[in-house]
């Protein structure tokens, strides 16, 4: 697999995004977001998305030239209008707005409407935690997941993310996962590598269990994680992310790649002494790390710790891209008459 430095991969993404009609500063932001996902090991939300993003533009689902704006702002809540542009600039604007509202009011809640694919939610809650606040984000997506007990895709992969600061130079705790048993983007990675997926994640178009990623892309569906538990969380994300933002639920949305998004920020000092909260947070982390690992485990990791380690490794060793993914990116560049 070809290996790139983050800077080189950002240049590749930016070149392609600009060729699609994206202003250079916006292309840099979107490209950086994709590569940051690669850096922390979430290749499902990295540059593998460039071909999909190009399709969104060709199909008219994304207007690459537009910029988001805060369309409503009142007391502790706001709405960002992405205007059918790229999701990452809208999500960053919404995140910054949620931080400002929380600083002013104790809490900040921001929805995004007419929003494209926002990428990895962990990026935005990490921004909130780095501002010393507690963050939460959720969004719905196009129908790809069957309800518990069914096999027709009606809900999105519907990720949810949280973050908690630790202070004193410590990295924040971050949880970020899809309510499907596997994120759709991870199927893309498995398909690009020619790999099978674990049992219990995918059914084919007739509802039969399958471990072939291609079964999903030929009319199949993903399954929710944890059976009825993941299904229940996913339904609520459809309503809090999709319906509350005005974006609509996955089953009714006709916009490919659209994300109904809700971002929340909580100012700790509006609830409890920040020193007390951080002390209890770090005490819990220390107890977890000191706890003896079970058989088969070398150690116990904190939420977000795998990404921290992967970031360090890839910043040193570079980012490897599957051969099939790189061939698709090269073909995309040729079609756009640019050189990567």
Per DSSP, the residues of 30-98 read HHHHHHHHHHTT-GGGTGGGHHHHHHHHHTTS--TT---EEEEEETTEEEEE-TTS-HHHHHHHHHHHH
Centroid of chain to Cα 129: 16
Number of C-alpha atoms within 13 angstroms, CB side, residue 304? 19
Percent of the chain with pLDDT over 70: 99
Question: So what's the pLDDT on residue 257?
Answer: 64
* Architecture of the 66-181+223-290 domain: 2-Layer Sandwich (3.30)
- Is residue 47 within 8 A of residue 321, CB to CB? The reply is yes
Tell me how far apart the 2 most distant CA atoms of the chain are, in Å. Answer: 57
107: helix, strand or coil: strand
Question: So what's the pLDDT on residue 192?
Answer: 83
Question: So what's the pLDDT on residue 211?
Answer: 95
Distance (Å, whole) CA 198 – CA 192: 16
- Is residue 117 within 8 A of residue 49, CB to CB? The reply is yes
What parts of the chain have a pLDDT lower than 50? Answer: none
Q: Which 8-state DSSP code applies to residue 121?
A: T
- pTM, full prediction: 0.93
Q: Which residues pair with 209 in a beta bridge?
A: 203
- Element of type H or E holding 113: strand 107-113
Question: So what's the pLDDT on residue 189?
Answer: 85
- Is residue 130 within 8 A of residue 172, CB to CB? The reply is yes
Distance (Å, whole) CA 71 – CA 89: 15
* Architecture of the 1-65+305-340 domain: Orthogonal Bundle (1.10)
Please state the domain extents for the chain. 1-65+305-340, 66-181+223-290
- Is residue 180 within 8 A of residue 197, CB to CB? The reply is no
């Amino acid at each position: 697999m070809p290996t790139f430095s983050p800077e080189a991969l950002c240049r590749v993404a930016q070149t392609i995004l600009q060729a699609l009609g994206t202003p250079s500063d916006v292309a840099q932001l979107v490209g950086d977001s994709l590569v940051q996902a690669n850096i922390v090991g979430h290749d499902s939300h990295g540059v593998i998305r460039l071909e999909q993003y190009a399709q969104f533009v060709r199909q008219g689902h994304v207007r690459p030239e537009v910029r988001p704006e805060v369309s409503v702002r009142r007391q502790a809540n706001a709405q960002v209008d992405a205007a059918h542009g790229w999701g990452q600039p809208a999500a960053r604007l919404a995140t910054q707005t949620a931080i400002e509202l929380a600083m002013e009011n104790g809490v900040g809640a921001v929805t995004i409407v007419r929003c494209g694919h926002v990428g990895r939610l962990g990026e935005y809650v990490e921004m909130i935690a780095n501002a010393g606040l507690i963050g939460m984000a959720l969004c719905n997506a196009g129908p790809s997941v069957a309800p518990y007990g069914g096999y027709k895709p009606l809900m999105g992969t519907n990720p949810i993310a949280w973050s908690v600061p630790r202070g004193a130079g410590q990295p924040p705790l971050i949880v970020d996962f899809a309510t499907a048993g596997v994120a759709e983007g991870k199927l893309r990675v498995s398909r690009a590598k020619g790999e099978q997926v674990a049992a219990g994640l995918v059914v084919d178009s007739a509802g039969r269990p399958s471990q072939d990623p291609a079964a999903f892309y030929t009319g199949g569906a993903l399954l929710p994680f944890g059976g009825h538990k993941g299904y229940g969380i996913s339904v609520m994300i459809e309503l809090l992310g999709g319906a509350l933002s005005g974006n609509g639920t996955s089953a009714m949305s006709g916009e490919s790649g659209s994300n109904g998004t809700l971002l929340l920020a909580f100012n700790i000092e509006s609830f409890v002494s920040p020193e007390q909260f951080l002390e209890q947070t770090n005490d819990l982390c220390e107890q977890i790390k000191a706890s003896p690992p079970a058989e088969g485990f070398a150690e116990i990791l904190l939420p977000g710790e795998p990404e921290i380690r992967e970031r360090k490794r890839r910043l040193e060793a570079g980012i490897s891209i599957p051969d099939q993914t790189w061939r698709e990116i090269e073909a995309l560049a040729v079609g756009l008459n640019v050189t990567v």
